[in-house]
Amino acid sequence: MLTVRFAPSPTGYLHVGGARTALFNWLLAQKHGGKFILRIEDTDRERSKEEYTRQILEDIKWLGLVPFEGPFFQTQRLERYREVAFDLLNKGLAYRCFCSPEKLEEERKRAYKAGKAFKYPGYCANLSEEEIKKRIENGEKFAIRIRMPKNEDLSFEDKVRGKINFSSSEFDDFVILKSDGMPTYNFAVVIDDHDMKVNLVVRGEDHITNTAKQIAIYKILGWEIPEFAHIPLILGPDKKRLSKRHGARAVGEWRREGILPEAMMNFLALLGWSWDDKQQIFTQEELVEKFSLERVSKNPAVFDVDKLIWINSEHLKKKADEEKAELVIPFLVEAGLVESEESIDRAWLIEVIKIVGDRLKKLTDIVAYADFLFKEDEDIIYTSEDAKKAIKGDGVVEVVEEINKVLKELDKWDRTEIEKVIRDKASEHNLGASKPIRAIRYAISAKFVTPGLFESMELLGKIRTINRINKFLEFVKANK
RNA sequence: GCUCCCGUCGUCUAGGGGUCUAGGACACCGGCCUUUCAAGCCGGCAGCACGGGUUCAAAUCCCGUCGGGAGCGCCA
């Protein structure tokens, strides 16, 4: 059975790179009826935080990457890592290292300055039994280093890149167990993947070198080596590794921006994978059915916000108005436009969704397009500059005044009737209808961009519409 | 510096010796529609990093150059 895993470290939020790795793994497991394991690599005591673990889990669930097994925590498996490390020690395949990290750090810096890579020279590789005993009794701390064999072939067949060559001679005797008793990443991963029967490791290409090191450990332990697939990195617009500088990078931030989980999934899938030369929009089911490592690209992909938003708008277009209405509610509450989720008139909200239509590219857009329908009349604030723009043209104010009068007498308050009034009055005055339309649009919304005016007025209701036109007319007079 | 990976429109990509005058999508620019903005429809701009081979034929295979990226921790 195919067993894959996603193994984030809880030292930050789930960003798009991590999310994409998780997605690819999940997709593979779904497609082949395999197992998808979630493992939290929390051996960095200083940087790991429970809050991050919580957030990562939340974001993974939001993306729809369920079911998964776990989460398993490495800090709950410390005994196991120690057991394997000491076993290696007893067999002479690893050794205690008493070198102080400070000293090594200094040597590393010096080597780097001289333009050379620092490799641990093996100071402690051949310490005598007595000396080891003495130093332990002295209370000296030690780490455990693996004995890296010479000229061992560590090449592997990558499922997306093909053969990748490494020799063990490129590596030094790296630490597998830190002096605080914690395993290092490359060591813990091997033991976990082996114990959890992971047989395919899919991760970012920044791990290629780690893979070689891990293969070294597999070989030393005599364990079966899983298959590997290294997927391309996700870059920022400057072609540098995605970082905080590139704006919202945590998946949760996109959720708060009003991106749908299925759109996020779709977008992430297309970062480094494609189906053919046509299809861009995929449902979750289609992705599960069509995804394969064979079609994963080798090139790093630049994160393109515009495309994310476009994909989101396409998924939004497919949704029923009822569903969109529900989805938008939290954002209305967040913006302070409605008191609570319960206080909203659903039927009316659906009408709002209808008139906003395809303008909605992100859920947050509802605020920009429809806030004026939720606001109180007194919260519609004009500026003299915009007001001037709104009434530009000869006789516009007069026409609006007349329209307002007729509107007051209107019995049937619907978009068709309203439109008729406005168009008739405009042509009576030999004025293009767009003039009063623009003025009234501004009057009821204090904006120049809104959904269709007549529908907006209908939904706003007669009283509020007329109130606002009055208020606007007064404002114009006062600002002459 | 060393090791490894990668180079097709601005971006994501299709293509893997002839069907490529290189296709699609996003973005951008026009036009139509129109009540603003979207949407929709029509049209446009724009790319095989470079240089050598191999071959009747190269975006595709080989070599080199250049460019980009990653790794080189008692971080993961």
Give residue for tokens 């005993």.
A133
pLDDT tens track for A255-308: 999 999 999 999 999 999 999 988 999 999 999 999 999 999 999 999 999 999
User: How far is it, in rounded angstroms, from Cα A353 to Cα A204?
Assistant: 40
- Asked if A193 and A224 touch (Cβ cutoff 8 Å), the reply is no
Closest nucleotide to the alpha carbon of A145, via C1': B74
Region A325-342 average pLDDT: 94
Structure tokens at A434: 């767009």
Instruction: Tell whether the model's pLDDT for residue A244 goes beyond 70.
Output: no
Give residue for tokens 């590596």.
A171
Q: Which amino acid, residue A319?
A: K
Of the candidates A213, A231, A249, which is a domain's last residue?
Answer: A231
Of the candidates A214, A231, A248, which is a domain's last residue?
Answer: A231
- Asked if A177 and A187 touch (Cβ cutoff 8 Å), the reply is yes
pLDDT tens track for A154-195: 999 999 999 999 999 999 999 999 999 999 999 999 999 999
User: How far is it, in rounded angstroms, from Cα A23 to Cα A14?
Assistant: 12
Number of domains in chain A: 4
Same domain, A396 and A358: no
pLDDT mean across residues, chain A: 94
- Asked if A406 and A425 touch (Cβ cutoff 8 Å), the reply is yes
Subset of residues 213-252 in chain A with CB less than 7 angstroms from any atom in strand B: 232-233, 235, 239-241
Contacts of A58 (CB under 8 A, 6+ apart): A252
Closest nucleotide to the alpha carbon of A447, via C1': B36
Question: What is the pLDDT at residue A243?
Answer: 62
pLDDT tens track for A307-333: 999 999 999 999 999 999 999 999 999
Helices A346-356 and A453-460 meet at what angle, rounded to 10?
170
In angstroms, the CA of A78 and the C1' of B3 are apart by 32
Task: For residue A271, say whether its CB is under 7 Å from any atom of strand B.
Answer: yes
Give residue for tokens 């989720």.
A341
Sheet with A3-6, edge to edge strand ranges: A3-6, A35-40, A69-73
Subset of residues 89-118 in chain A with CB less than 7 angstroms from any atom in strand B: 97-101, 104, 108, 115-118
Same domain, A360 and A285: no
Instruction: Tell whether the model's pLDDT for residue A248 goes beyond 60.
Output: no
Task: For residue A301, say whether its CB is under 7 Å from any atom of strand B.
Answer: yes
Give residue for tokens 């500088």.
A245
Nearest protein residue to the C1' atom of B68, measured from CA: A239
Region A140-155 average pLDDT: 94
Subset of residues 381-440 in chain A with CB less than 7 angstroms from any atom in strand B: 419, 433-434, 437-438
Per-residue b or e along A92-120, where b marks 16 or more CB atoms closer than 10 Å to that residue's CB: eebbbbbbeeeebeeebeeeeeeeeeeeb
Instruction: Tell whether the model's pLDDT for residue A247 goes beyond 70.
Output: no
Question: What is the pLDDT at residue A114?
Answer: 78
Provide the β-strand partners of residue A202. A229
Burial class of residue A332 (count of CB atoms within 10 Å of its CB; 0-12, 13-18, 19+): buried
**DSSP tag of A239:** S
Same domain, A141 and A124: yes
Same domain, A212 and A274: no
Question: What is the pLDDT at residue A113?
Answer: 79
Same domain, A104 and A82: yes
User: How far is it, in rounded angstroms, from Cα A423 to Cα A438?
Assistant: 12
Structure tokens at A250: 């945590």
Q: Which amino acid, residue A153?
A: D
Contacts of A352 (CB under 8 A, 6+ apart): A325, A366, A370, A373, A459
Between these two residues, A207 and A241, which has the higher pLDDT value?
A207
User: How far is it, in rounded angstroms, from Cα A97 to Cα A260?
Assistant: 51
Same domain, A94 and A124: yes
Same domain, A86 and A222: yes
For the domain that residue A286 is a member of, what is the CATH number? 3.40.50.620
Burial class of residue A285 (count of CB atoms within 10 Å of its CB; 0-12, 13-18, 19+): exposed
Chain Cα centroid distance, residue A42: 21
Domain containing A359 equals 321-374
| pLDDT band of A442, cuts 50, 70, 90 | very high
In angstroms, the CA of A115 and the C1' of B2 are apart by 9
Extended beta strands in A299-376, E state: 301-302
Q: Which amino acid, residue A374?
A: F
Same domain, A158 and A145: yes
What is the value of pTM for the model shown? 0.94
Same domain, A242 and A313: yes
Kindly state the percentage of chain A with pLDDT values over 70: 99
Nearest protein residue to the C1' atom of B71, measured from CA: A209
Is A447 strand, coil or helix? coil
In angstroms, the CA of A275 and the C1' of B20 are apart by 21
**DSSP tag of A166:** -
Same domain, A111 and A163: yes
Of the candidates A184, A212, A231, which is a domain's last residue?
Answer: A231
Question: What is the pLDDT at residue A110?
Answer: 85
In angstroms, the CA of A274 and the C1' of B20 are apart by 21
Same domain, A297 and A420: no
Subset of residues 436-475 in chain A with CB less than 7 angstroms from any atom in strand B: 437-438, 441, 448-455
Question: What is the pLDDT at residue A117?
Answer: 79
In angstroms, the CA of A170 and the C1' of B15 are apart by 37
Same domain, A92 and A208: yes
pLDDT tens track for A78-127: 999 999 999 999 999 999 999 999 999 988 888 887 777 788 999 999 99
